[in-house]
Structures are given as C-alpha cells and as structure tokens.
Amino acid sequence: MAFILKKKHLKKKESQSKDIQIENQYAYVIGMILSQNDTQVKADMTLNEITPTQINYRNVVTANLQNTESAILKDLDVEAQIFKKDGTKVLHEGSKQNMHMAPNSNFNFPISWGTKEFEPGKYRLDMIATSGEQVWKWSEHFTIDGKTADELNELALDIEKDYTWLYIIAGSILALLALILVFWLGRRSRKEEDEE
C-alpha cells in the first residue's frame, strides 16, 4: 500500500494566473507495510532454474532467485561462480551488492560469459546470497546442450571464435608434408648414391 501526498495550492487571483505560464506541482509517494500482528516474517530464498541465454546479444547464464516469503530483502549481496561439472578452475563469475528484493518476487541474476562462445557440456554453479545475518548457499549442476549453444553463439556479439581445431588441422597437414618431403629427399639421395 502507498500514500500519495501532494501540497494543497491556494487559489490564485486571476491576474496572477494569467502571468504564469508554467506551474510546478510536486507529489510524494510513501510506501507502507501493513501487518496483522507483531510477528516478524523471516525472509527465505530459493534458487530456481539456471539457464543459458542472452542479454543485449551477449551470452550469459541466468540463475533465477526467488524471495519466497512476504518480507523485504535489504542489502542483498550475491556472488556466483561457474565451473566445469567436477572442476576447480573458475570459468566465469559475477557479483552484485546492496540490492533490494520485494516480497514474494523473483529475478534472473546474470553471470556474463564474456567474449567466449558457449561450449556444450555439464557445468556447476556455486552461489552465495547474504542479507544481513542470513546466508544462502547453493551448488547446482546445469547443462548447455549443443543446439542451444550453436543458436546463441550464432546471434552473440563480440564473440572470440575458437579456431583451435583449425590450428590442429593445419599443423597436422604441415607435419605430414614435412614427413613426405624428408622421405622423398631420403629416397632421392639413396637413388643418386646407387647410380654413382
């Protein structure tokens, strides 16, 4: 519930109102919390789903956080890290401080994938949310499938393409050509020795 307060203006004389072209009026909205009793409701949060998606054509993974109680979460800090499913090296991370969350609401917390392409596979999200003395921790697995990765990578901006496979193929071809050249030169020199 909210109250809107507006200053009461006295009626002006007609001569004054003709001279004034713009008249400013201000209003204030004051929010109120109504309760049926004095029992404090303790906030609680849950982590719903983890989804690979895009924000402004940039690859992100969103973690849907939900405030399940009818209490406002103040000074909410969230830290998130993404790993390979059983890995220990942090691949991507994100954090946000001093947020507020309305009662019985949810929002998608984004973790940027940077300039990297989505790679299909199994990942783990470790997340910590704190609000005052309350702390919530989650460690959840999620999967990025090949079709989703390809579709999002195709649309993404500022992506560094991974050309490792191209370098491996080019290196293999060069190594094969070098072996053929060494073999051919060796046969040629033996042939010339035999002819002498």
Which domain CATH number covers 126? Answer: 2.60.40.10
Tell me whether residue 178 is in a domain: no
Q: Is residue 25 located within the same domain as residue 49?
A: no
Q: What is the token pair recorded at 174?
A: 């060069």
Tell me whether residue 52 is in a domain: yes
pLDDT of residue 122: 96
Which domain range does residue 14 map to?
2-31
Tell me whether residue 14 is in a domain: yes
pLDDT of residue 20: 64
Q: Is residue 11 located within the same domain as residue 51?
A: no
pLDDT of residue 140: 96
Cα distance between residue 160 and residue 84, in whole Å:
20
Q: Is residue 109 located within the same domain as residue 19?
A: no
Q: Is 13 left (phi over 0), alpha (psi -120 to 50) or beta?
A: beta
User: What residues have CB less than 8 Å from 111, skipping those under 6 apart?
Assistant: 60, 61, 62, 63, 80, 82, 92, 93, 94, 125
Q: What is the mean pLDDT of each run of 10 residues along the chain (196 residues)?
A: 72 60 75 71 91 93 94 92 93 94 92 92 96 94 94 84 74 88 81 70
Q: Is residue 53 located within the same domain as residue 146?
A: yes
Q: Is residue 61 located within the same domain as residue 137?
A: yes
pLDDT of residue 119: 93
Q: What's the total number of domains in the chain?
A: 2
Instruction: Out of 155, 175, 191, pick the residue that ends a domain.
Output: 155
Q: Is residue 99 located within the same domain as residue 57?
A: yes
Q: Is residue 73 located within the same domain as residue 101?
A: yes
Cα distance between residue 132 and residue 146, in whole Å:
40
pLDDT of residue 14: 59
